[in-house]
């Protein structure tokens, strides 16, 4: 009997202790969230501990995000904290904000970061509708990323539109995602990519073709030989062929060495040095006495470098 | 006869040993009795600036508020790493030349044109790729060179003008590193120990000129077009007023220019807007940027810092400074 009583008291004490600890914990969360809702530049001082607490902090943070009496700044930093916790508990409240047309547009865009990676198949139509309604390219890009885990065919359509209408980071990101969704189409997309004016995207395409497993030198050679192909695209093709181990591209590189464009013939000289001497030196020797100064110099340089 | 010649030779040698000018063309001053920041002089001291101390430190005289002057240790040297991304703010390798790609430059301070003809790769990147990345709307919107320039055409042209000025690339990089080192460190030494006030720098005295310096930051940083550790983050404005002789020279030789072009020439001669990466590029590669808004023109550096007179630079530029400043560099070494 005494033993039973002892155990009963012990269990009671443990329960009370746990409740007290939980109460302390909740008070800590409330205190941090309260500070966050008033914070300025120092907001990370409160956000970081909340992120460390994780899911137990979510209800209080969601309440803060939804509180329209707070400033937009404080609602946004609350959303950013929730995004960083990245819990499934945030998905439903985030979607409510995302699809609410009366909400702050910046906040709507912000919550997309917290939805990444979660299965959003149930809201794919609403996401697609929103993508088509919006005009801000970065917001659209974020929505397209959400479509990746909602419906990949819709995501493909979305990224294709972004690729065709945007430039810079958005276009580059679109290309990366298109190729991720449809790897079998990668060569044709990268081939298109190297012909774009946008430096970022055409660089990505160029670097990808250098390392791609799906590669056919003939595709590049065809584009190189088109009458309308400009210096920049020719240079990229020469760069790709010069950095891949494809002996069938040597004839084109030798031809490029004689191109009038400084970009093209200089890159060809560098690229030819990546092949075996016996594949390259005989042809270079023939060019050593060419009438054109740059051809003579470059062929001699290749011979000197490659031996 | 032979003894007289030997005596003459000995005399010449001894005379040259007495000179105060050393290989950096800096005058030597005695280290004792000089007031280095935060100490200061009231009134301008009659001392050369920049100057070299006995222990090899390069000092520059600064004009600070209330007619006060102070020396600052602005030595251009290789120091602790400088890397914005890693949060490292040392001096970096200020004196380093790219010896692997440009051995002649590393040895002599100037490029050899034969070496440039045979340069197809710099820091492991093809010069074509550097050019594509460095043109406008490549790795930066403004670019490191104009659309019709290449990395090699710019290096070639600037090497020629520096050579015709009778200078080397390190000669031109040194004053730039002096002001860079001053701008970065002055804050640490600028508290008046008597009053506790912060001293404001009004001008940098350099070879008899008063140079103004303004630095502002930018968001983020700019990546280098070379495969090196360089990053750029600041906007640096260097300028000075022209003196009476310079004004007269310009009126005499460029008075026929339209008002707009005359003012443009004035700005190109006496105002530099650049970023800190270019200081390192000058020593490493002999690259001053092409015709972009961040170009540090060697002619402007030589004039602003008093390394050469306006007549010298006018002659080095073929007698037409306006044409020199506004013509892109399109000749490649090949």
Q: Does B231 touch chain A (CB under 8 A)?
A: no
Which sequence spans correspond to the domains of chain B?
Answer: 100-326
Give a yes or no: residue A79 inside a domain: yes
- Minimal CA separation from A38 to chain B, in Å: 26
Q: Is B328 on the interface with A (CB under 8 A)?
A: no
Q: Which chain A residue lies closest to B333 (C-alpha atoms)?
A: A294
Is the predicted pLDDT of residue B23 greater than 80, yes or no?
no
| First-last CA distance in chain B | 52
- For residue A239, the Cα-to-chain-centroid distance in whole angstroms is 24
User: Cβ(B283)–Cβ(B97) under 8 Å?
Assistant: yes
User: Could you give the CA distance from residue A88 to residue A261 in angstroms, rounded to a whole number?
Assistant: 56
* Residue B4 pLDDT greater than 70, yes or no: no
d(CA A260, CA A121): 54
Interhelix angle B151-164/B169-185, rounded to 10 degrees, is 100
**Does the predicted TM-score (pTM) go above 0.90?**
no
Overall domain count for chain A: 1
Q: What is the pLDDT of residues A200-257, one digit of tens each?
A: 999 999 999 999 887 888 999 999 999 999 999 999 999 999 999 889 999 999 999 9
In a domain, A188, yes or no: no
pLDDT digits (tens, 9 = 90+) for B217-252: 776 788 999 999 898 888 999 999 999 999 999 999
- Out of B120, B138, B139, whose CB is closest to A270? B120
Residues of A in contact with B334 (CB under 8 A): 262, 266, 293-294, 297-298
Question: Please, what is the average pLDDT of chain B?
Answer: 90
Across the interface, whether the CB atoms of B117 and A266 are under 8 A apart is answered: no
What gap in Å lies between CA B226 and CA B151, rounded to an integer? 10
What's the average model confidence in pLDDT over A1-18? 80
Cβ within 8 Å, pair B334-A293 = yes
**Do residues B53 and B59 lie in contact, with contact meaning Cβ atoms separated by under 8 Å?**
yes
- Residue A28 lies inside a defined structural domain of this protein: yes
| DSSP per residue, A79-141 | HHHHHHH--GGGHHHHHHHHT-TTS-HHHHHHHHHHHTTS--GGGHHHHHHHHHH---HHHHH
Instruction: Report the relative pairing of strands B51-52 and B27-28 from DSSP bridges.
Output: parallel
Task: Please tell me the predicted confidence (pLDDT) of residue A32.
Answer: 96
Give residue B33's pLDDT band: very low, low, confident or very high (50, 70, 90).
confident
pLDDT in tens, A129-139: 999 999 999 99
**What was the pLDDT predicted at B15?**
47
Q: Nearest residue on chain A to B152, judged by CA atoms?
A: A262
Residues of A in contact with B127 (CB under 8 A): 266
* Within a domain: A132: no
The average pLDDT across A27-32 equals: 94
Q: Which of A208, A205, A200, A139 is nearest to A167 (CA)?
A: A200
Q: What is the pLDDT of residue A5?
A: 83
Under the banding of pLDDT at 50, 70 and 90, the label for residue A21 is confident
Reference B101, options B123, B84, B82; nearest CA is B123
Question: pLDDT grade, residue B197 (50/70/90)?
Answer: confident
**What are residue A144's DSSP bridge partners?**
none
Dist. CA B291–CA B148, nearest whole Å: 10
pLDDT in tens, B40-62: 899 999 999 999 998 899 999 99
Which residue segment(s) compose the domain that A23 sits in? 1-118
CA distance B136 to chain A (A): 10
Q: Does residue A298 lie within any of the structural domains?
A: no
Spatial separation of the C-alpha atoms in residues B194 and B179, rounded to whole Å? 26
């Amino acid at each position: 009997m005494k033993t039973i009583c002892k155990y009963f008291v012990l269990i009671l004490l443990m329960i009370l202790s746990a409740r007290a600890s939980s109460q302390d914990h909740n008070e800590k969360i409330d205190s941090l969230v309260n500070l966050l809702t008033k914070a300025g530049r120092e907001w990370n001082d409160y956000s970081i501990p909340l992120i460390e607490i994780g899911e137990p902090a979510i209800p209080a943070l969601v309440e803060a995000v939804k509180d329209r009496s707070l400033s937009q700044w404080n609602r946004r930093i609350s959303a950013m904290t929730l995004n960083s916790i990245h819990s499934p508990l945030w998905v439903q409240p985030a979607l409510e904000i995302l699809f609410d047309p009366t909400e702050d547009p910046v906040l709507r865009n912000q919550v997309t970061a917290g939805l990444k990676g979660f299965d959003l198949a149930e809201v794919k139509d609403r996401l697609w509708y929103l993508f088509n309604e919006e005009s801000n390219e970065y917001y659209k890009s974020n929505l397209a990323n959400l479509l990746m885990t909602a419906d990949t065919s819709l995501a493909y359509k979305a990224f294709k539109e972004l690729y065709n209408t945007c430039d810079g980071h958005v276009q580059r990101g679109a290309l990366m995602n298109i190729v991720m969704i449809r790897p079998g189409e990668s060569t044709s997309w990268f081939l298109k990519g190297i012909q774009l004016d946008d430096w970022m995207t055409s660089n990505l395409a160029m670097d990808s073709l250098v390392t791609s497993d799906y590669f056919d030198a003939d595709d590049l050679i065809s584009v190189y030989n088109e009458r309308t192909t400009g210096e920049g695209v020719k240079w990229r093709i020469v760069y790709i062929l010069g950095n891949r181990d494809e002996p069938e591209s040597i004839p084109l590189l030798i031809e490029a060495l004689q191109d009038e464009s400084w970009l093209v013939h200089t890159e060809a000289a560098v690229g030819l040095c990546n092949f075996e001497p016996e594949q390259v030196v005989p042809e270079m020797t023939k060019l050593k006495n060419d009438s054109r100064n740059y051809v003579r110099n470059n062929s001699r340089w290749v011979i000197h470098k490659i031996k | 006869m032979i003894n007289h010649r030997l005596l003459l030779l000995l005399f010449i040698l001894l005379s040259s040993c007495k000179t105060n000018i050393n290989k950096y063309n800096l005058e030597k001053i005695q280290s004792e009795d000089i007031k280095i920041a935060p100490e200061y002089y009231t009134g301008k001291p009659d001392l050369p600036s920049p100057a070299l101390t006995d222990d090899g430190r390069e000092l520059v005289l600064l004009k600070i508020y209330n007619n006060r002057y102070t020396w600052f240790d602005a030595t251009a040297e290789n120091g602790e790493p400088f890397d914005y991304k890693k949060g490292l703010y040392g001096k970096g390798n200020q004196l380093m030349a790219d010896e692997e790609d440009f051995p002649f430059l590393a040895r002599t301070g100037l490029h050899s044109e034969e070496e440039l003809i045979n340069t197809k790769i710099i820091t492991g990147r093809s010069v074509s790729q550097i050019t594509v990345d460095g043109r406008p709307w490549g790795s930066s919107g403004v670019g490191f060179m104009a659309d019709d320039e290449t990395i090699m055409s710019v290096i070639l042209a600037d090497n020629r003008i520096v050579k015709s000025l009778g200078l080397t690339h390190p000669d031109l990089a040194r004053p730039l590193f002096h002001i860079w080192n001053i701008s970065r460190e002055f804050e640490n030494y600028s508290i008046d120990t008597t009053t506790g006030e912060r001293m404001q720098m009004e001008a940098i005295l350099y070879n008899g000129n008063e140079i103004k310096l303004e630095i502002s930051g930018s968001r983020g940083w700019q990546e280098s077009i070379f495969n090196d550790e360089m990053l750029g983050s600041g906007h640096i404005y260097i300028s000075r007023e022209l003196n009476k002789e310079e004004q007269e020279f310009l009126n005499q030789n460029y008075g026929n220019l339209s008002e707009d072009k005359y003012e443009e020439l004035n700005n190109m001669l006496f105002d530099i807007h650049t970023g800190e990466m270019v200081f390192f590029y000058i020593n490493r590669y002999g690259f001053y940027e092409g015709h972009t808004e961040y170009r540090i023109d060697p002619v402007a550096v030589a004039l602003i810092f008093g390394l050469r007179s306006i007549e010298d630079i006018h002659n080095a530029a073929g007698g037409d400074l306006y044409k020199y400043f506004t013509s892109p560099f399109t000749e490649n070494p090949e």
